[in-house]
Amino acid sequence: GMFEIKGKNGGVIAVPSDQGAFLEFYNSSVKLLHTRFNTKSYSPSTDDVKVFHFHGAKPHDFLGHLLGQECHQAFRFMCRELQTSPMKCDGLHSFAVHLNENKLLPEYCRAVFPVSADGEACIEYFKAASSTDTSAWRQRCNVTNRNIKI
């Protein structure tokens, strides 16, 4: 949900997450790592990323959006921008590859999509992602087997 914190000038500031509250409170003293060490799904493309951070919307939120589910208001804009954000597609591809390599795909999909049809769509979507090269996946990541596009 949304967090509200008291600003330094006494006003109330709404932030979408605990991380947002932290950054707002400590904004004058925070020293962030270079983006190649911790990049976000909406950051500009970086080839040598070490940690891909799904800040806000998670992989199942993006897929849920493609399946017609509404994303949480705090990060709805991220879901709507999937088609125009190559790094989100790259992140979903990497996530799918790691899920598949570690044989966690069915368990993950059934946990985040308890409705059988959505769980199966999740498995199909991430299997397709993990077996497609990254640049080709950028062209397909906003389409499910149900032909729902954002």
Mean pLDDT by 10-residue block, N- to C-terminus, for the chain (150 residues)?
71 72 74 69 61 81 92 88 81 90 94 92 94 88 60
Query: Between β-strands 12-15 and 3-6, what pairing exists: parallel, antiparallel or unpaired?
Result: antiparallel
Give the length of the chain. Answer: 150
Separation CA 64–CA 77 (nearest Å): 14
pLDDT of residue 148: 46
pLDDT of residue 52: 67
Of the candidates 10, 108, 104, the residue with the CA atom closest to the CA atom of residue 59:
108
pLDDT of residue 10: 80
Q: Write out the two tokens for 139.
A: 């062209």
